[in-house]
Structure 1
Amino acid sequence: MSIAIGGRMPTPERTTLHEIVAAGRDILEVSGPDGLTMQAVADRVGVKSPSLYKRVAGRDALLRLVSDATVVDLSERLHGATLHELARQLRDFAHERPHGFRLAFSADFSPELAAVASEPIVTVCRTLVPEEDVLDAARTVTAWASGFISMELAGAFRLGGDVESAFRYGVDALVAGLTRPPT
């Protein structure tokens, strides 16, 4: 956090875009999407709100930057993982950053960022299925994992039982289904 010198707030040059996005990601997790405002970020990084507009066009742009940074962070965590590890990392990330997870899975990305986001899952699926099935497998894995995790975060599993065990069962079933020879 920047410190005011002589009662003045730091100039925007002392606040980097990286610091603004990091502050936005932290605020998102504490205050939810409605709490992610330009004023909240300005307060966190120690500048006046109008100064942020020199780096970020507005709240929509801030949300996009936060979402993009979250996707890149998640993608980096998933590199080199097996399907079991990938699913676990995805779930752990969602529990660490539930609002970021929801934002990342609801955002419309550029084709370049979509490729970055999907690369770890596509890579894992290439180890499990023939090349012609990779995209279908990656979509299946993504849909199951994001659906399970979203339901878990929402408290939707109310029938009892062990959610951890159900998660492991689901991942095992995905692996078994993907590695089974086609009929």
Structure 2
Amino acid sequence: MGTPQGPGRLPLAPVAPRPALASPSPRVGEIIAVAREVLEKEGAAALTMRRLGELLGIRAPSLYKHLAGKNQLEARLVDAALVEMGDLLHGVVDRADAASVLGDLLAAYRAHARAHPNLYRLVTSGPLRRDQLTAGVEDWAGEPFYRATGEPYLAQALWAAAHGTVILELDGRYLPGSDLDRTWAALTAAFSRPVAGA
């Protein structure tokens, strides 16, 4: 998430370098693309090597010639999704000013999660297998929250609040009739107030 830069003008400039994902072979690229399609349309439970083999027209054991197994496949999906989210959110922060950056960042985060709920759950639920991810990818994806707040722990709190707010929305856990646009506006307003000691 970078290091504190003091009370500089928000949003801050990028610190983390954009990671370059290793280019997969054409066959691995095809497997990953089909896996993402299955995940997006059918959910994580449908993402099996057998299902991928059926869609690719090959026997499931043949997939292991290209990927070590489902864990590695999921890590590749998470890797790509973190870069995608980082690119999106960095772009939003790049275009924002101090007055709009929090609202714009949270709106983009919410929209992306709602557009890709199953991918979002894969990326954000359960333990993160950092040892299987591209170096720096987690920093790249999370840094827009730091750039928008200027303080690393405030950035973590903002991300945690955004994640909690959006996962409850994706899971339909708010009371019927709740105006979720107002909920998100309240979240933005809460983090827009000066923080004591900041």
When the two structures are superposed, what TM-score results if normalisation uses the length of structure 1?
Answer: 0.78
Q: Does 1:116 align with 2:140?
A: yes
* Structure 2 unaligned regions, length at least 5: 1-23, 94-100
For 2:183, the equivalent position in structure 1 comes to 166
Structure 1: distance between partners of 2:76 and 2:121: 15
Structure 2: distance between partners of 1:14 and 1:141: 37
Q: Residue type of the partner of 1:25?
A: R
For 1:135, the equivalent position in structure 2 comes to 152
Alignment of 1:60-79 (within 5 A): 60-79=71-90
Name the CA shift for 1:162/1:19 in 2 (closer, same or farther; >3 Å). same
Q: Deviations over 1:149-181 (max 9, x none)?
A: 0011111111533111211121122122xx356
For 2:192, the equivalent position in structure 1 comes to 175
Q: Residue type of the partner of 1:49?
A: A
Q: Residue type of the partner of 2:66?
A: R
Alignment of 1:40-119 (within 5 A): 40-80=51-91, 81=93, 82-106=101-125, 107-110=127-130, 112-119=136-143
Picking from 149, 155, 171, the partner of 1:125 is 149
Q: Which moved more, 1:85-94 or 1:106-115?
A: 106-115
Q: Which structure would you say has the larger RCO, counting Cα contacts within 8 Å and 6 or more residues apart? A: 2
Identity rate of aligned residues, in percent? 28
Picking from 43, 58, 79, the partner of 1:32 is 43
Structure 1: distance between partners of 2:129 and 2:139: 9
Q: Residue type of the partner of 1:117?
A: A
Name the CA shift for 1:116/1:109 in 2 (closer, same or farther; >3 Å). farther
Structure 2: distance between partners of 1:17 and 1:83: 37
Cα deviation, residue 112, structure 1: 2.5
Cα deviation, residue 101, structure 1: 0.7
When the two structures are superposed, what TM-score results if normalisation uses the length of structure 2?
Answer: 0.73
* Structure 1 unaligned regions, length at least 5: 1-12, 127-133
Q: Which moved more, 1:138-147 or 1:63-72?
A: 63-72
Contact 1:15 1:45 in 2 (8 A): no
Q: Deviations over 1:80-139 (max 9, x none)?
A: 32221111111111111101111111241426222122122222222xxxxxxx111111
Cα deviation, residue 41, structure 1: 2.2
Structure 2: distance between partners of 1:45 and 1:76: 29
